């Protein structure tokens, strides 16, 4: 009875009663519907993630494969490796400039995701305002935009790491022959793929925080200022 009186008092004072918290499952379904409605834009956003993670996955996988070939200590294979510019005495090590290039690529991808989601927030002010007028809380808006942008990144990261791995195996098989497939360092490759996926996930989740916050802070009255 006391709770009913408190809610009635809040309404009399012009305050909206507290809404029931909406689960992550419902927020996920709403976010997935948003991705489907804007499939073209979602594909453009994911393309940047795919290319960045594919580059990272390719570099890590190539390094593991070549080091595994060096460890075979096969004379004919060593000759081929040396012809390709590989130092068989120290193996393959990622150069500092390559690491810098990787970092810049991932940073550019992260900025692209943030920019794309901020544009989506600007275009969907009326939608956000309508949801808030219907009782949606800031937490719900935050969840939906956070999940939507994270979906872009994580799906793109999975596609990118698979693409990078396939390209690395194909290039090494072309350059060094069938021994590439016979001596694939499965554990090392699995570790590299895990690192690539984690980096992609952390990058996209980080990039999604600010757009989700901006969306959650939009006020319902702003929707009334948007011209059709």
* Top-confidence residue, 226 or 219: 219
Residue 64 is predicted with a pLDDT of 86
CA dist., res. 88 & res. 76, Å (int): 12
* pLDDT the model gives residue 94: 63
Q: What is the pLDDT of residue 125?
A: 76
For residue range 45-80, what is the model confidence (pLDDT) as tens digits?
A: 778 888 888 888 888 888 888 888 888 887 787 778
Specify the pLDDT at position 167: 93
List, as one string, the DSSP characters of 78-106. HHHHHHTT--TTT-----HHHHHHHHHHH
What CA–CA distance (Å, rounded) separates 139 from 217?
A: 10
- How much of the chain, in percent, has pLDDT values that exceed 70? 82
Tell me, what's the pLDDT at 12? 44
pLDDT averaged over every residue in the chain:
76
Task: Work out the average pLDDT over 13-26.
Answer: 58
Q: Is the dihedral of CA 177, 181, 182, 183 positive or negative?
A: positive
Beta carbons within 8 Å of 144's beta carbon, 6+ residues apart? 27, 30, 31, 34, 215
Model confidence at 226: pLDDT above 60: no
Q: Cα–Cα distance between 173 and 99 in angstroms, integer?
A: 24
Could you tell me the CA-to-CA distances from 142 to 49, 107, 227 in Å, in that order? 22, 23, 24
What per-residue confidence (pLDDT) applies to 6?
A: 45
Residue 88 or 186, more confident: 186
Evaluated on CA atoms 62, 66, 67, 72, the torsion sign reads positive
Over residues 68-96, the mean pLDDT reads 74
3-state secondary structure of 219: coil
pLDDT of residue 52: 84
pLDDT digits (tens, 9 = 90+) for 138-179: 888 888 878 877 787 788 888 998 999 999 999 888 888 888
Percentage above 90 pLDDT, the chain: 4
Give the residue from 15, 76, 35 showing the smallest Cα distance to 208.
Answer: 35
Domain ranges for the chain, please list them. Answer: 31-223
User: Which of 138, 130, 143 shows the shortest CA–CA distance to 26?
Assistant: 143
């Amino acid at each position: 009875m006391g709770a009913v009186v408190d809610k009635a008092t809040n309404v009399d004072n012009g305050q909206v009663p507290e809404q029931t918290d909406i689960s992550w499952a419902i927020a996920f379904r709403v976010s997935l519907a948003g991705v489907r409605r804007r499939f073209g834009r979602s594909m453009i956003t994911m393309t940047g993630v795919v290319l960045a993670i594919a580059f990272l996955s390719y570099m890590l996988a190539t390094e593991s494969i070549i080091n595994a070939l060096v460890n075979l200590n096969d004379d004919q294979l060593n000759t081929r490796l040396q012809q390709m510019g590989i130092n068989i005495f120290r193996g393959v090590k990622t150069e500092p400039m390559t690491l810098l290039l990787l970092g810049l690529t991932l940073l550019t991808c992260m900025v692209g995701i943030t920019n794309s989601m901020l544009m989506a927030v600007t275009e969907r002010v009326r939608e956000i305002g309508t949801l808030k007028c219907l009782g949606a809380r800031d937490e719900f808006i935050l969840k939906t935009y956070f999940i939507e942008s994270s979906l872009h990144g994580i799906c793109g990261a999975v596609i990118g790491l698979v693409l990078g791995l396939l390209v690395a195996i194909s290039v090494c098989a072309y350059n060094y022959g069938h021994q590439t497939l016979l001596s694939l360092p499965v554990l090392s490759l699995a570790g590299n793929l895990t690192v690539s996926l984690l980096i992609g996930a952390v990058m996209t989740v980080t990039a999604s925080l600010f757009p989700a916050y901006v969306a959650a802070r939009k006020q319902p009255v702003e929707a009334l200022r948007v011209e059709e």
